[in-house]
Amino acid sequence: MKTNIRMPYLILGAALSAVILTTQTSCTYNLFGKSATENNQLNTGNPVAGDDAASSTVKTSTGDTKGTTGTASGTGNSDSNGGPSDSTGKGTTDPGKSSVSTSANVQSSNQSAFIAFMRENAPSRTIKKKDGVVYVTNTDSPLVLVNKKRELESTYVPKDLVKANVGFSFSGDNPKQQLRQVAATALEKLFAGAKQDGIELKAVSGYRSYASQRSIFNNYAKKNGEEEANTFSAHPGQSEHQTGLAMDVSSASVKYDLDKSFGETKEGKWLKEHAADYGFIIRYELGKEDETGYMYEPWHIRYVGVFIAQEIKKKGETFEAYMAQF
């Protein structure tokens, strides 16, 4: 008799566990474009999911896909005859209500995990001071925030750099063709999506080492003066390119130059409209110079994950402003 009573609980428990695991995996994929296991390896923290991540639309080269939150229903408590019953012994348990409750609990769990992860990556919690310089500490996170006030150390090199399988504006092999694995995969999908829409993009410059950025900045400083150079070029250690999560993109319509006019081309407009669908943001938006520290760069895209990219786009915020709220 005890076996009959416990069996529905065991079945329900197994069903709930499967639902939660499936939903968290789906949400994590939508957040960073990777599975929960893969993302955990990339993030130095626990895999997370956003509150709305499971319902976010992700456009890929094979079409639009949507993550779905699973539901489960199970039997209620058993009475002496083994039938479903409520606490009064009456068979009134509603499987539909159980499904709604399960889905709500999963969503609440996902939201809590998302907030916890964002707080782990909050600007105020991811810095250390050394010799008067503020360095970031979450270098392996897709949400690492690098700017004029938050630097990467000169020795930092991403561990998972790969050559992005996209067209480049130059020939031959060059470190600038590299991105971190998660960003390279997302860029390949972005380029494929652009091609489907009749848009041809070329990648211009991805990863740059500390030494490479130092050479670039020094050349601009000699030509334009250090103060002016600092409005459009980063000091070494302050460049997003060193993170391996940023890529400069251009098109034949502007002769593959990195110029503001790119933003007015059909390619630039497409990129602004669709970058977030693949997990990228236009990092340095027009009119946000005081927040980002740099002039408008419609060609510079930065990987942050689909869910967060869409949130930043929807709110019209800078990466700095979005991260500051955590």
Positions annotated as catalytic residues are: 297
Residues 6+ apart with CB under 8 A from 169: 202, 203, 204, 250, 256
b/e string for 188-226 if b means 16 or more Cβ within 10 A?
Answer: bbbbebbeeeebebbbbbbbbbbebbbebbeebbeeeee
